[in-house]
Structure 1
Amino acid sequence: MQIKDFKVDKSLKELTSHRTVVLPVASYETKIADNIHGKIPLHWHEEIQFIHTVKGEAMVQINEEKLLVKEGDGIFINSGCLHSAEDVSGDCVYICLNVSPHFLLPQELFSSYVYPYISATNLPYIILKHSEEWGKNILNSIIEIKKLINENSPFYEINITSLLTVIWQQLIRNGFQLEYSQAEVEKHVRMKEMLNWIHQHFAEKVSLADIAKAGRLSNSECCRYFKKILKTTPINYLIHYRIQKSLTLLQERDSNVTEVAFKVGFNSSSYFIEKFRKSMNMTPLAYKKNRNSLQSP
């Protein structure tokens, strides 16, 4: 089942529970365009994630890097990394597999064969190519796990744990050398602190200095962080976040554009309309009418 209304908390941590009834594992097929935002917004979670693109192409951002994931290929996204996805081809569909790191191997092996890899600062992602044997093995295992979860056949949980062991062994044999940088860890902690502050205070009057203070940075360093990691400015990110928050409000039948503009932090309805049109390629009123018509019986 696809998650269409992608919910995160104030620190961008995804609120979806990634598990079946008995396993800390979740697998689902996602069509990016069906998400309420038209893309998978920036978020993070403790689970490691595997994406297998089965149709079309996706542009996936992981921390400050953007990567094109082509049809048939995939990507491993490490625990705690900020990531998002946009549809490049217009019809992108991928299988998503989320797994708790503590479920990958027996607890006795966690400190030696799991923790060093989910803590390594040089391993935010690993590209999985179907043209490489080890990558193809992982991609096939992702499909098999999804099938096992859907079929719910006898002993399927044991089969899934076996496949996860194979996947993890393939990754640590073919991934990068481990590195750990306290400076890199601190950088992403500060980034999450600034994003968390924006998500708590977006409806208020916000300045660049406010955002920088949340990350314990100067204004110029704050701008450098946003430019390097998110490829935008702090204020542009704030505006984009306000617009994203407005989407749900606009879908309420008794809402109006001016009220929504002020609720999400804009001090002018005309400025809200201008920025909304630039971001969404339509006016807020057109978006409201379009969504209401789709929801009508």
Structure 2
Amino acid sequence: MQLKNFVVDQSLKELTKHRTVVLPIACYETTIDHNIHGYIPLHWHDEIQFVLIVKGEAIFQINEEKLAVQKGDGLFINSGCLHLAEDMNNSGCVYICLNVSPRFILSQELYTTYVYPYIQATNLPYLHLGANVDWGKNILDAIKNINQLIQQKSLYYEINLTLQLTLIWQNLVINGFQLEYDQTEMLKSHRMKQMLNWIHLHYAEKIMLDNIARAGQLSRSECCRYFKRMLQTTPLGYVIDYRIQKSLVLLQQAESNVTEVAYQVGFNSTSYFIDKFRKAMDMTPLAYKKYKMDSL
């Protein structure tokens, strides 16, 4: 089994190129537990995302909310929303992931009226797409069709692809969702990304709660509330988790050793790193390294 690394920048913006050679779109199948972390870590991107579960079931977190999505159903995840995915009940979850630039959904003349208001709405971080309702089934079928079109690349497939995208957006719009625009929610999202960006730039250094709060222009207590509400952890707990995530790649390098990796990712004690790693990964860093080396 080949493990895939999920690459994001310091603000958690995904760096995967979401496009084919000529189109601002990407569609591919993802097996959650094939990721190097064992799950799809927290990230965001400018593209809107549609998901269709084709095997098993998964837990998705979008901003502050978590929900389970089962085989045959899917999700719409809006532009700029923080999200992650975890396999549920060791189901071997596989899903089709369709990422598309909002400006490619409809023509420029229609974008302002029918797309931009939706990607700016603060009450639309995601929609559950159920196969048991007509508009949801229509979107899910179109995701399958787009996946097939990109794989087969038959003559004029690009035109057929744009027709399917139009169908997807038409069904989303006719669902009649009432859009809201809350400046407080916009500011909250911006501040959260500022704090995450700061952590990802400085994770290898000594980090204090004051540093993180200052990055988000918040008090210490409000900073803690943000992390608890959106990530279900503390700011410094998130720092530890992120350091462990960064250590996974380093531990797979043949020449690395546990002590060096511990200090490279910001731990000032090897024993503390081992303790936190064991709690997060259910094995020691050395056992993880040996396991990965043996699987090459």
Length-normalised TM-score, structure 2:
0.98
Aligned partners of 2:3 and 2:36 also within 8 Å: no
Q: Deviations over 1:49-105 (max 9, x none)?
A: 001001111000000101101111000000000000000032101000000000000
Superimposed CA distance per residue, residues 98-153 of structure 1 (whole angstroms, 9 cap, x where no aligned partner): 00000000001111000000000000001000111111111011000000000000
- Residue in 1 that maps onto 2:260: 259
**What one-letter code is carried by the residue in structure 1 that aligns with 2:213?**
A
- Relative to structure 1, is the Cα distance of residues 287 and 3 closer, same or farther in structure 2, using a 3 angstrom cutoff? closer
The DSSP-based 3-state class of the residue aligned with 1:54 is: strand
State the match for 2:128 in structure 1: 127
Structure 1 residues 73 and 264, CA, compared in 2 at 3 Å: closer, same or farther?
A: same
Alpha-carbon contact 1:3-1:30 (below 8 Å) kept: no
Deviations 1:201-225 (A, max 9, x none): 0000001111000000000000000
The CA distance in 2 between the partners of 1:3 and 1:275, in whole Å, is 23
Q: Distance in 1 between matches of 2:85 and 2:120?
A: 23
Give the equivalent residue in structure 1 for 2:108: 107
Mapping of residues 85-100 of structure 1, within 5 Å: 85-90=85-90, 91-100=92-101
Distance 1:57 1:277 in 2: 26
Q: 2-side partners of 1:173 and 1:121: how far apart?
A: 19
Taking the aligned partners of 2:180 and 2:128, their CA distance within structure 1 comes to 18
Provide the residue aligned with 1:273 in structure 2: 274
Question: Could you tell me which residue of structure 2 aligns to residue 137 of structure 1?
Answer: 138
Cα distance between partner residues in 1 of 2:147 and 2:3: 15
Task: Give 1:37-56 correspondences, 5 Å limit.
Answer: 37-56=37-56
Which SS does the other structure have where 1:154 is aligned?
coil
Q: Can you give the 5+ residue segments of structure 2 that lack an aligned partner in the other structure? A: none
Residues 53 and 74 in structure 1, CA contact (< 8 A), matched pair in contact too: yes
1:287 equivalent in structure 2: 288
Match of 1:33 in 2: 33
Using the alignment, how far apart are the partners of 1:254 and 1:201 within structure 2?
24
TM-score between the two structures when normalised by the length of structure 1 = 0.98
* Aligned-partner SS, 1:95: strand
Contact 2:57–2:87, Cα closer than 8 Å, also in 1: yes
Report the CA distance shift for 1:66/1:183 in structure 2 as closer, same or farther (over 3 A).
same
Runs of 4+ in 1 over 6 A off after TM superposition: none
Partners of 2:70 and 2:177 in 1: CA distance = 21
| 2: CA distance, partners of 1:132 / 1:188 | 31
Give the Cα–Cα distance (whole angstroms) in 2 for the partners of residues 89 and 105 of structure 1: 38
Instruction: For residue 61 of structure 2, give the secondary structure of its aligned residue in structure 1.
Output: strand
**Which residue is equivalent to 2:170?**
169
Who is 1:210 aligned against? Answer: 211
Counterpart contact for 2:28–2:96, Cα < 8 Å: yes
Question: What is the CA-CA distance between 1:28 and the residue it aligns to?
Answer: 0.4
In 2, the alpha carbon distance for the partners of 1:25 and 1:181 equals 29
Unmatched segments (≥5 aa) in structure 1: none
AA at the equivalent of 1:44:
W
Using the aligned pairs only, state the percent identity.
67
Quote the residue 1:239 is aligned against.
240
1:176 positional shift: 2.2
2: CA distance, partners of 1:178 / 1:261? 47
Map of 2:61 onto structure 1: 61
| RMSD between superposed Cα atoms in Å | 1.0
1:190 maps onto 2:215 in alignment: no
C-alpha distance after superposition, 1:181-211 (max 9, x if no partner)? 1110000000000000000000000011110
Q: What SS class does the counterpart of residue 37 from structure 1 fall into? A: coil
Contact 1:128 1:136 survives alignment (8 Å): yes
Contact 2:29 2:94 in 1 (8 A): yes
What is the deviation of 1:3?
8.6
Amino acid at match of 1:149: I
- Contact kept, 8 Å, 1:250 with 1:260, in 2: the verdict is yes
Corresponding position of 1:71? 71
**Letter paired with 1:206:** I
